[in-house]
A and B are shown apart, each in its own frame.
Chain A
């Protein structure tokens, strides 16, 4: 009887512990809640109901490798969660300064006359969810999970101008990124299986900026984030491509000489061989 009471008490405490963990301090990056029993305060002898993490996530590949044959890639994100709940996945590329150029008609010719720089622009942004995102975000998790529009609302213009003009350039930025599939227009779908497993496709286009991407998976229950798992996803050139790009940036003059020698040898050989045919 006492043991039963103790078990109930444990459950209650662990529930409270969850409640504490799910409220990240405003403005801070939430600590990834991956693995490990969260209820460190409990006596170890007591079996804990939450010994298993509520959210486990993995990717089909630990990194996106840009090789000579790279044409864009689709990664599979998959995992398991404690029901009930909804899953949201946010993938974000490294932030940088982007320059948006706008063509305007100038004596009949189209010419880049408008120009606006923004700081903190994510190279890539993709959201997938297991339910319509608007509904999920409306229920309270919106502070932490940002739709693309919300995320872009926080990019900083380098030069200030009227809000209307800034909005136009911001729209232009989205347009170009959409065209290059860096901000995929459609929300991805997180599909559920056996009501405990989930999976989502993360699409990466061929023209992908390098850097460490952040793949964040959230478990939502009643419109609140109950768990979050953050995984870095390095995107970079490997092998031959990486070698060449490395030489080009680190040893430009040497790379240039190499390129000239290659052209001289090929041109010479080509000329010599083909004259005999």
Chain B
């Protein structure tokens, strides 16, 4: 069954889009990340213009993060103070990102930048995760009762000015750190159409040293508002949010998420992270291949300009 997408200006199979949303939801349920990093490249791959894919995916992230946040908030897993500080950077970053996106679109380099950023991000994160889960696995097998190591270590980052106390996260760090992190995630959000959870969550654990219990909830909080900001700005400046496309992705995600969390409940964390790492690396490899491969046709068309 085909449906015409009014903003993408083409017809697409309803079930393909629904399945894509479902896959993203499945990942969200399994790994606690948005799944946008998989859905956006796939949308582009099936022929949705990158500008529309990114903007509509941001809209889907809003729905995705509000349903996760619902659960996390009730469990008291949101560090509101940290979330707001992150959000300050996130709002600035996503606004800058939308502006950057518009500029890239105008000079015709948006596809390339999206692809390169995905390859760099996904491959580095994929390798980190794979390495981490493998080493954990090996350590556990050798000595199952080994202590997990120190709560957090003190790095250079703890010497930055503007220190702030984050009670829930049990942290006393410079506010510039979460602001800067939020800024970077905001840019990624705007350009890649992802929530950025797959970068934000490891960064909060390893860079800020936040306890894992509040990480998912707090990142969901920041992602919700950043994705909403991206949706709003993309709609207002570029007019590239396709609500029909977003609706199908959201509906797919709503079905996929609980299936994902059921799978996650049955698998040990190490296996889960290794699986995720393999998946991330797979997407990165495919995108890299697309960049290196000689294209079937070197030509493409930029946006049509109807002159008055």
Bound together, the chains give a CA A67 to CA B111 distance in angstroms of: 29
Q: Which residue of A lies closest to B250 (CB)?
A: A266
Q: A-B contact count, CB below 8 Å?
A: 195
Q: Which of A177, A262, A271 contacts B67 (CB 8 A)?
A: A271
Q: B147 interface residue, CB < 8 Å from A?
A: no
Query: Which B-chain residue is minimally distant from A243 (CB atoms)?
Result: B6
Given A97-B304, A267-B65 in contact, is the A70-B4 Cβ separation under 8 Å?
A: yes
Whether B299 pairs with A260 at a CB distance below 8 angstroms is: no
Dominant SS among interface residues on chain B: helix
B253 surroundings in chain A (CB, below 8 A): 270
Please determine whether B258 and A96 come into contact, CB atoms closer than 8 angstroms: no
- A100 adjacent to B241 (CB under 8 Å): no
Measured between beta carbons, the chain B residues less than 8 angstroms from A241 are 4, 6
Q: Are B235 and A262 in contact (CB under 8 A)?
A: no
Mask of B38-50 contacts with A, CB within 8 angstroms, 1/0: 0000000000000
Partner of A257, one of B4, B68, B232, B307: B232
Max chain A CB contacts within 10 Å: which of B3, B304, B305? B304
A24 in contact (CB, < 8 A): no
User: Given contacts A97-B305, A257-B232, A260-B228, are A111 and B112 in contact (CB under 8 A)?
Assistant: yes
Q: Of A103, A104, A240, A263, which is within 8 A of B231 by CB?
A: A263
Chain B residues whose C-beta falls within 8 Å of the C-beta of A100 in the assembled complex: 299-302
Closest Cβ–Cβ distance, residue B48 to chain A (whole Å): 11
- Which residue of chain B is the closest to A66 with respect to CB atoms? B4
Task: List 6 contacting pairs A-B, 8 Å CB cutoff, sorted by A.
Answer: A68-B244, A96-B305, A115-B108, A175-B299, A255-B241, A270-B63
Interface residues of B (CB under 8 A from A): 2-4, 6-7, 9-11, 59-60, 62-68, 70-71, 108-109, 111-112, 116, 228, 231-237, 239, 241, 243-244, 246-247, 250-251, 253-254, 257-258, 291-295, 297-307
The 10 closest A-B pairs by CB, nearest first: A271-B67, A256-B235, A99-B302, A267-B63, A172-B299, A270-B254, A267-B66, A263-B62, A263-B63, A256-B232
